[in-house]
Structure 1
């Protein structure tokens, strides 16, 4: 099952905290989006970025791919039999 969460730094696991990027304002002070499917983390991204880089061609370029991947996983999940 697909799961999308909006998290703060303290909500991340210790391993995720270690791997979090320290760009922008500092990894402790930004928000995170975490996308999991069947307990596998597919995306863990933060909103920590410089204002001039906050475009879909730069720091937000991962969003279209994430949306397509989530759609495909949701479609595949809908075809599974229980």
Structure 2
């Protein structure tokens, strides 16, 4: 039979992450508990603005090119249909 446990935790917000402080108790014996302390810190990614600008430029020019290409193809189809 698997060991049945319950978890009671208090989540406390700290400056760069979270601190989880709680206890794990046996389901059948509430006096048999173990303390649990977990600290999770945020890792802030280094944002390279020049790389972001390059990605944005590639995306924007791709959308603009596809739109202009579609307009050109539409004009050619319109010209052929009306000829």
TM-score, normalised via structure 2 length = 0.29
TM-score, normalised via structure 1 length = 0.29
Structure number with bigger Rg: 2
The structure with the greater share of residues assigned to strand is 2
Kindly indicate whether structure 1 or structure 2 has the higher relative contact order, using CA contacts under 8 Å at least 6 residues apart: 1
